[in-house]
Amino acid sequence: MKKTISILLIAIMFAVFMPFMPTATAAAATTAVESGEFKPCPGGTYRVRRNSKRGRTLVNALIAGGIGTAIGAGIGGKRGALIGLGSGAGGYLVYRWVRDRRGRCVQRYVRG
């Protein structure tokens, strides 16, 4: 009974508040990210992609998975530990992929 009431309340909340959500700004933000357009670099700099070392990324993903495992085990036992492992390591790898893809702006040196 509690589950049915809570699902009904969530559905009503979405039905009431969805018309008030700004759709134009959300659509513009997603198209800018999907097309690969990032904020331009300031003058005198240019964009380079990050080159994360694979071994270091793997070690950091294992650390994030271990932290997720510890939190998940504390909350949900064995099944929680498995879910925490996947979400910790997966979350770190997605974060790293996005950061590497965006790159960074570096100084442009002129040889003379």
pLDDT, residue 97, reads 80
Nearest to 100 by CA among 45, 44, 56, 42: 56
Question: Which SS3 state, helix, strand or coil, does residue 56 take?
Answer: helix
Write out pLDDT tens, residues 61-88. Answer: 889 999 999 999 998 888 899 999 999 9
Co-location of 20 and 73 in the same domain: no
CA–CA gap between residue 91 and residue 80 (Å, rounded): 16
Question: What is the structure's pLDDT at 24?
Answer: 56
Domain that holds residue 10: 1-37
- Distance, in Å, from the CA atom of 5 to the CA atom of 48, rounded to the nearest integer, reads 52
User: Do 108 and 58 lie in a common domain?
Assistant: yes
What integer pLDDT is reported at residue 20 of this predicted model?
65
Specify the pTM. Answer: 0.50
**pLDDT, tens digit, for every residue of 6-61?**
777 777 777 777 666 666 554 555 555 455 566 777 777 777 766 666 677 888 88
